[in-house]
Structure 1
Amino acid sequence: MEEPTSTTSSLPPAVAATDKEGKSAEFHPFSISTPQIRAFHLAWLSLFSNFVSTFSIPPLIPLIRADLALSPSDVSAAATASFAGSILSRFAMGPLSHLLGPATASAALSFLTAPAVLFAAFVSSPASFLVVLSLVVRLLVGLSLGNFVANQYWMTSIFSPSVVGLANGVSAGWANTGGAAAQFLMPQIHSLLSMKLSSSAAWRLSFLVPGGERLSTLQMNGMAKEMDGMAKEKAASVASKRFVPGRRIGK
């Protein structure tokens, strides 16, 4: 039987080599020349933002603990809530990605959890820390890590089996650096704000940055979905131009 025809490097730069399903058979992570690779970049950046917001609270816990006179058990409850949220969402995101598509599922989860990190600014006592930060904020923010599942599902829908393993690894690796970025950025943001404000006000306002960044993921997901659609349309167009009427597969 004749092998499925793929586009070749002789095609215009805006069209990647694709397999019979219209998935990209090329993966060039340092390029933005094709819709597929642009969708890849927007997808991992969206997940990167999820990691930043999820890990934005721990770097400021020493300041929050001192300001609110928290006990060690109060702090550990918040960490447990975040972990529980990530577990629950990862079970749900697989079926949701299959049902709605990874872009829509990821955008929906981002929309539902984006305001959560902003609620941290309203914590004013150990009791509110336990209720608001532990049970609401960390739980909801932890849910956003379910977008990791949607991201991996998305890579599988964009790239062919020959390169999807590499695409999954790079996307996950780059996105996971959001946790390290939060460890670096949040203390710096607090330091800048504390030059003009009290430490108590500074750590609260610091959460505006990851909260605002989370809202940007909605736009990223929308743009990535559009790029993914463009890639599939171009692949279908190329395939139709190569079709020869009357030719049978295997002949």
Structure 2
Amino acid sequence: MLTELLSFRGRYKILHMTWFAFFLSFFVWFNLAPLATQVKADFGLEVSQIRTLAICNVALTVPARIIIGMLLDRFGPRITYSLLLIYAAIPCITFASAQNFTQLVISRLALSIVGAGFVIGIRMVAEWFPPKEIGLAEGIYGGWGNFGSAGAALTLPTIGAWLAFGALNPQTGEALLNWRLCIAGSGVVAALYGILYFFNVQDHPPGKVYQKPKSARGLEVTSVGDFWFLMLMNLPLSGILGVLAWRLKKVGLYGDNTLYLVWAGLAALYLFQAYNCLVVNKDLLSGRKKYPPKDRYSFSQVAILELTYVVNFGSELAVVSMLPAFYEGTFALNKALAGMIAASYAFMNLASRPGGGFISDRLGSRKNTMAILTAGMGIGYLMMGGVNDGWWLPLAILLTMACSFFVQAGEGSTFAIVPLVKRRVTGQIAGNVGAYGNVGAVAYLTIFSLLPEWLSGGGEQTAAVIAQSNTVFFQMMGVAALIVAFMCWFLLKEPKGSFAEHHEGEEDESGLNQGSEIPVGMNPNDII
């Protein structure tokens, strides 16, 4: 596969076009961060308001990943990805033309839906690559596409300065950025690529059948116990949105009454989701339907994968948010140098995530790969909790990059398993697992923001308190990762057909033998 990767034919064309679609969705999703300073200056915003926009940027990604997963299983990745990329232009243009803070908030909330694009490519890549190569293929998709956030940070300030035609701020003398054209333009580019994507990809190779669930309203499970487990695991998806609503209230976006209305709406959302799952699984719950052993899957495996994504992708989003300030405060660096060092954490995505998938393909056990990488991540975070101003800076940087490798390789190994759990509901499973990554990010960042206040007892937040909060933060993530590693080692099961030539159900669905066009059960000698 590695030698064929440079080609742009067949399944490799699909892989390259799909990871670039993911790249553009993340480029658009994170197009505010590098331009936030200019937006803040133009609108005269306070720091709390800019942080509110950052929260809005991820607010609807959790439910969007669930909904996108349902649409994906129903309509296929080609239509779903194309429409999402075309949709991206609408909130980008709306944000770029905003005239007040409320308009910024609304358009950013709408843009957070684009962050759900990741789950679409998971199914597309799984349709085109066999289980034995799924780890590396999904890793390349996730790792190279995820670099879109870094791409935005690297290019948008330069493009913004160029579009401002060299204009300078009369008060500071710094270059002005034309952030409006940058953000609107990124949305337009995404939309144009969505059209290109629609006319240049197919949902599956010729001769294969795109397996769909009977209903995409809710996740189909195969036992009564799994249904109630699903209901339990859906609670954090709505609960974390309640935490986000509380955060928005704390920065003064609205009052108590509005908060209570939002919480009531989230409770209704959970009940609506539960009702849809009930409708999909009603025959199972009533006893009218029983799944044969070969058609069953264990939802507990999905739950463990959700938790792995909490501790790897959730922690990555949290660490990326705090790492520049961590280096700046710990080693007394200037902002530019601290930002460059912190960027090494994100740059590792280019190799680490494909590396995790490649290791999963080659080690011979996807569950053991998951456990080892998650344990390495936990140990890395515990070691980072010990970093202080007495450390040699290059050693701290090497430790950060090593920890980053385990985090992102763990992400790659997670989605080397996701497409193998149950193929016909891969979109919904990927949506649930992906949504839990955002659940982890919000949970970690909320705790991180509250730690200084807790550790200071509500008093002065000195440099020593900040340093202690950083230590506790890394230790918390390390312990959480080790607990999940233990669950992977002892509770996660090896997916059926992890290294097979064909996905589960392909023979039965297509009526063909593996690797041939001879109908199942027919003697090749009968064909003249």
| In structure 1, distance between residues paired with 2:195 and 2:83 | 12
Q: How does 1:185-204 map to 2 (within 5 A)?
A: 185-195=155-165, 202-204=178-180
Pick the aligned partner of 2:112 from 132, 142, 153. Answer: 142
How far, CA to CA, are the matches of 2:199 and 2:92 in structure 1?
A: 24
Matched letter for residue 182 of structure 2: S
1:145-194 superposed Cα distances (whole Å, 9 cap, x missing partner):
21101111111111110001111111100001110010011100111122
Shift in Å at residue 242 of structure 1? 10
User: Shift of residue 109 of structure 1?
Assistant: 2.1
Q: What is the rounded CA distance, in whole Å, between the counterparts of 1:33 and 1:73 in structure 2?
A: 46
In structure 1, the partner of 2:370 is none
Counterpart secondary structure, 2:147? helix
Q: Give the alignment's TM-score, normalised by structure 1.
A: 0.75
- Deviation of 1:123 after TM superposition, in Å, equals 2.4
2:135 aligns to what? 165
Which range is displaced more, 190-199 or 156-165? Answer: 190-199
- Tell me whether 1:71 sits opposite 2:50 in the alignment: no
| Partner in structure 1 of residue 104 of structure 2 | 133
Question: Which structure's relative contact order is higher, taking Cα pairs within 8 Å and 6+ residues apart?
Answer: 1
Which residue number in structure 1 is paired with residue 19 of structure 2?
Answer: 44
Cα gap change, 1:99 to 1:51, in 2 (>3 Å): same
Rg: which structure is higher?
A: 2
Gaps spanning 5+ residues in structure 2: where?
A: 170-175, 209-509
Please tell me the residue identity of whatever aligns with 1:161: P
Aligned to 1:208: 184
Mapped partners of 1:68, 1:168: distance in 2: 41
Q: Which moved more, 1:74-83 or 1:176-185?
A: 74-83
What residue is the counterpart of 1:88 in the other structure?
63
Query: Match of 2:112, as an amino acid?
Result: G
**Whole-angstrom distance in 1 between the partners of 2:165 and 2:106:** 31
Match of 2:516 among 230, 239, 249: 239
On the 8 A contact 2:40/2:46 being kept in 1, the answer is yes
Amino acid aligned to 1:108: L
Letter in 2 for 1:210: S
Alpha-carbon separation, structure 2, partners of 1:27 and 1:245: 36
Report the Cα offset of residue 121 of structure 1: 2.0
Partner of 1:176: 146
Count residues in correspondence: 216
5+ residue gaps, structure 1:
1-25
Give the Cα–Cα distance (whole angstroms) in 1 for the partners of residues 167 and 95 of structure 2.
17
Q: Distance in 1 between matches of 2:86 and 2:153?
A: 24
**Post-superposition shift, 1:70?**
0.4
Report if the CA contact (8 A) 2:89-2:184 is conserved: no
With the length of structure 2 as denominator, give the TM-score of the two structures: 0.38
Q: 2:182 and 2:8 mapped to 1: Cα distance? A: 36
SS of structure 2 residue aligned to 1:31 = coil
1:158–1:28 CA distance, 2 compared to 1 (3 A): farther
In 2, distance between residues paired with 1:44 and 1:141?
20
- SS, match of residue 31 in structure 2: coil
Counterpart secondary structure, 1:172? helix
Query: Structure 1 233/31 Cα, relative in aligned 2: closer, same or farther at 3 Å?
Result: farther
Q: Percent identity?
A: 22
CA deviation after TM superposition for structure 1 residue 112, in Å: 2.5
Shift in Å at residue 96 of structure 1? 1.3
* CA distance in structure 1 between the aligned counterparts of 2:159 and 2:9, rounded to whole angstroms: 36
> Residues of 2 paired with 1:91 and 1:242: CA distance?
37
| CA separation of 1:224 and 1:140: change in aligned 2, threshold 3 A | farther
- 1:225 shift after superposition: 2.6
Quick one: distance in 2 between partners of 1:111 and 1:198? 34
Q: One-letter code of the match for 1:162?
A: K
Residues 208-217 or 64-73, more deviating? 208-217
Query: What letter is aligned with 1:135?
Result: I
Counterpart CA distance in 1 for 2:8 and 2:177 is: 44
Contact conserved, 1:38 with 1:224, CA < 8 A, in 2? no
